[in-house]
Structures are given as structure tokens and as C-alpha cells.
Chain A
Amino acid sequence: MLAYVLRRLLQSVLVLLGVSVIVFGLLHLTGDPTRLLLPLEAREEDVRQLRALLGLDDPLWVQYLRFLSRAVRGDFGLSFKHQVPALTLILQTLPATLELTAAGLGLALAVAVPAGILAALRRNSLLDVICSVGVLMGQAMPVYWLGLLLIMVFAVGLGWFPAAGRDGLASLVLPATALGAFSMARIARMARSGMLEVLAQDYVRTARAAGLRTFVITYKYALKNAAIPLVTIVGLEFGILLGGAVITETVFAWPGVGRLAVDAIFSRDYPLVQAIVAMLSTLFVLINLAMDLVYTYLDPRIVFVRGKQ
């Protein structure tokens, strides 16, 4: 068990190192970072100064090590546009993003898990059909389109919720719905097939043969076992949602990290872009590490299976 945890930790560190290479590479894509960092009409003098300032004349690996040693201390440099440390900006906007992501995920789980389970219990019923149509639609709708439709109907048309901004619970409803819809579809699908799989297991048949009531079988035996795979899904979904937040925040003018990132990209604020990509990736890795450990706790067999791989 301990060995497994240590191995997972080491893996996570390796992954973060990989992320740092890509984040570092982002700035060196065009060969000369000053071309990305400065406006196209920058004077030759400025270019030279910036090169000296960033130590761009050093060998690449020296530059990378310098970047890495700063990055692990949370130092990604000053945002060009805002002239404050990139990390400060991220920490200011991260709560808004986490709020949106958590709301989206919460909403998705609250709707999808009961819906998926009910659909499995009443296979081929009207409810099941409605559910699967919902799943198909949810998986096919781009988040920004759903967002626009929601704004059109519920903000512009009915005036129930604000169309943009972050101002209290009412402003969270539309963006969380738009963001959560895709996950909702995936989770409902997983919950349904997971429940169907569990219901076909021998122990469920035995329980039934032993004369246990359907209610007890469903809620005491089946549900618990069907819930286990959902735990890992939640971790992965959280990462997907963090990515989706970039677009959702743009549509709803939600003041989070995603919008900050889009803004940073368009204003050539690459230190800030690097910091955001690094931070979001780290968050994803940590959440998945945590979920994996929870999963191991729920289902100890997994240590053995993965240990063998």
C-alpha cells in the first residue's frame, strides 16, 4: 500500500516535470521568445534589453533550470500587462473558477447520478429513453453554444438570470449549467452502465435468491458498488471542467482564470499564460492523485492490479 502511494507520488512529480518542459517550450516555440513577448514594432534596442533581462543568451538548459527553480517557488515573473506577479493574478481569479467548476460538477452529479441509476433500474422505460436522448444531446452540444442559448432564453428573453458577470448565486446558474452539461451527460451514461453491470453480478442474484427485497438489494448492495468507478470519473471530470471553464468564462464574462488566460494570450502576456497553464495542470495532477488514493481506499484490489502493470 505504502509502496503504491509512493509510486503514485513519484509519478505525479514526473508528470509535473513534463508539464514544466512544455510550459517552458511554449515561450520558445518560435525560436526567439522576444518575438512573442514584444509587440511586432518593438525597437531593436528593446529587443536586446529584454534578451539580456531574461537571460536568453544562456544555453537552453540553463534557461530551463532557472525557469524550473523559480517555478517551483511559484515565481513565474511579472505579468507584462498588469505589472504584478503572475501568481498573484492567478490567486485572485482562481476562487471564481473553482466556484464555477465546483458548481458545474455538483450540478452534473446531482442530476446525472440519480438519472443514470433510475434509467438503469427502469431499463427501456420512458425515463430511460428521455435520459439517453438527454445524454446524446448533452454530448453533442458545444459549451459556448449552450451558453449562448441559455443567455438568449433565460437572460435576454425571460430575464430570470443575469447574462454576464459574477454577482451572487443567480449569476452562477447559467454558466454552471452550460459548463456542467457535458459532464452531466458523461456521468449519467457511466452511472447507468455501471449500475446495469452491478445488477448483473452474481452477488446481486444471490441476494435476490436469498429473498432480500429489491429495495435492499438496490440501495444496499448495488448502489455502493456502482459508486466506486464514479470516484475516479469525478477527478477526471474536474480536469475537463477546468479546461471547459476557459470557454464558459469567456461566454459569460466570468472573472476567473480562464478569462484571464484568454486575455493574456491575446495581449501576448506569455509569463501569465505560462503560469496559468502550469497552475491548472498542477491542480489537475493533484486532484487526480487525491482521487486515486481515495479510490485505493474504497477498492484495495486496485493496488494489486496496478502494481503488476
Chain B
Amino acid sequence: MSEAASPAAVAPLGPVAAPVRRRVSFRAAFGITVLLLMGGAALAAPQIAPWDPGRQMLAKRLRPPVWEARGLAEHPLGTDHLGRDILSRIVYGGRISLGVGLSAVTLSGLIGVSLGLLAGFHGGRTDAFIMRVVDVFLAIPYILLAMGVVFALGPSLLNVILVMAVTRWVQFARIVRADVLSIREREFVSGARARGNRSMRLLLRHVLPNALTPIIVVATLELAFMIIYESALSFLGLGVQPPTPTWGWMLADGRNYIATAWWLATLPGLAIMLTVLAVNLLGDWLRDTLDPRLKI
């Protein structure tokens, strides 16, 4: 650290974005491992979870995790106010978080990429119109919009996914449009056009594949966002409804017990943070590996 005082350490003369290799790969490895564990646990929830997540055992309610004095070995992460096993609920909750997150990202990616392609490729009025719509969606407090819509339509799994996708597609649209603006000027595109390719084919065969890198990176970072988004809606009571266990709902439930049972609100939040952290690390790594110049 003392070397920082010397001018050489102050001014990196090499390329700025050059990542320190060892650290990046450690981060990526950590992210991927956590994600695989979380994803695997969610997929194999019925096999892994020690208890039925909805099973209430009132005699054993509000037991702390096993490492505390009143903890029970058969409930490693403790039980909630209805005597339900926290570990099992977290494992099952991962299904909702990851499942809803992935579906919402896919859907919002489809919407955003299509509109971004259209805007960037056609330019002119189409572009101006789509970009104004993008501005509108950026201006509206999405969480309020989502709450209003979910409340009006009813909080079903499908509605939650739809609303999340419809309020977040702009992220894809913006990045794809910016990329397509430069891609369409490149020679292979005019070449393909000169060979008589139609617009649709041009877009899908020549433009889209060249815009894939930022799309993949945005998709990963958006997945992290969607997981937080879903749990926020659940936390506010407008996500996937109980008795389906979700991390956000568990947190909201645990809120009433923060003075007496710290684990109720802490552990599901930890699960959210770990998952989001892992996805973010994966996203950062993808960006640095695929295209370090990307500014996302």
C-alpha cells in the first residue's frame, strides 16, 4: 500500500480496463459455484429439503438455528412462528426467485431486444418514437406501477412475471439500439443488403448475432435485478402469494419478530444477497471476458 505514494502506482500506464486476472477468476469461480449450488438446490428442492415447506409443527415454533442454545438438529436453520422449517422454505423459495427471475428476464429481453433492433435499424421516426417510450418507462417509478398493475389484475405467478418484464424491457432496448446503430454502418451489413437480403433476414442473421455480447451481459445483470425486484414485490405483499414460500414473503413475515427471532428476517435476506451477488459476479466476469470495453 505504501507504494501508492509513488507516481508510478498512481498512473497505470497500461490499458485501464485490463483486469487483474487472478482476482477476476476467483470472483467468477465464487459466483458460478454459488449459482450452481442455489440453482441445483432449487431444482432438486423436493429431494433436498428436509421437510415439507408448508408443514406446521406448532410445538417446535420459533426455534433458532442449530448453533444456538435452543436449536434443534432436525431444523438446522430454525423454524418460524408456525413451526415451519426455515431451511426447507429457503430451498423452495429459491425456485420462485430464480424461476420468476429467469422468466421475467427472458420475456423482457424478448421485448427489449426486438424494440431495440427496430429502433436502431430503422432509425428516423421509428427510433424517435421507441426512444420516447423508453424515456416514459424510465421516468415512471416502476415499483409503484408494478404494484398498481398487480393489485388490479391480481397477484398470480404469471401477472407478476408479466409486470416485471413490461417495466424493465427498456434496459435491453437501450443497449441493443446503441449497438445496432454502429453495427448497421459496418461493411458486412451493407454487403448483405447489396446481395438482396430482406430487412428481416438482415436483422436476424447479420445484425443480431453481432449485438449478442451486450445482450448476454445485460441479461445477467438484469437477472440479479429481477431477483431483488421479485422479492420486493413479495415483501410488499404483491408477489406470488402464500402458501408458496418466497424469500420476500418470508422476510416480511419475519419483520414482526425482529426483536425476538433474528433468524426469520435475516436468513432469507442472506439467500437473496448471496444469489444476487453471485449473478452480479457472473455478469461482471462475462463483461470483462467477452468485451471489456462495454460500459454497462
Contacts and interface: CB of A to CB of B under 8 A. Distances in A.
A172 interface: no
A124 B224 CA distance: 26
Interface string B221-239: 0001000100110011110
B73 interface: no
Contacts of B266: 148-149, 152
B59 interface: no
Interface string A191-227: 0000011011000110010000010001000000000
B135 A11 contact: yes
B139 interface: yes
A160 B152 CA distance: 41
Contact of B255 (A19, A22, A148, A285): A148
Contacts of A141: 269, 273, 276
Q: What is the size category of the interface that chain A forms with chain B?
A: 35 or more
A243 interface: yes
A284 B138 CA distance: 9
Given A30-B153, A123-B9, A281-B139, A140 B276 contact: yes
Contacts of B237: 266
B200 interface: no
Contacts of A143: 232
A256 interface: no
A268 B138 CA distance: 25
Contact of B269 (A145, A199, A243): A145
Contacts, number: 165
B12 A127 contact: no
A265 interface: yes
A261 interface: yes
Contact of A26 (B12, B133, B152, B251): B152
A146 B22 CA distance: 31
A243 B136 contact: no
B144 A276 contact: yes
Contacts of A86: none
A200 B1 CA distance: 20
Contact of A204 (B11, B132, B235): B11
Interface stretch (B44-52, B202-210, B257-265): B257-265
Interface in A218-266: 218, 239, 242-243, 246-247, 250-251, 261-262, 265-266
Interface of B: 1, 4, 7, 9-13, 15-16, 20, 132-133, 135-136, 138-145, 147-149, 151-153, 224, 228, 231-232, 235-238, 251, 254-255, 258-259, 262, 265-266, 269, 272-274, 276-277, 280-281
26 contacts: A15-B132, A16-B139, A22-B140, A26-B148, A26-B152, A36-B152, A121-B4, A121-B10, A125-B4, A136-B277, A139-B224, A140-B274, A143-B232, A145-B273, A148-B254, A148-B266, A204-B11, A205-B11, A243-B144, A246-B143, A246-B147, A266-B237, A273-B144, A277-B148, A280-B144, A284-B138
A-B CB proximity, top 4 nearest:
A18-B136, A145-B269, A122-B4, A140-B277
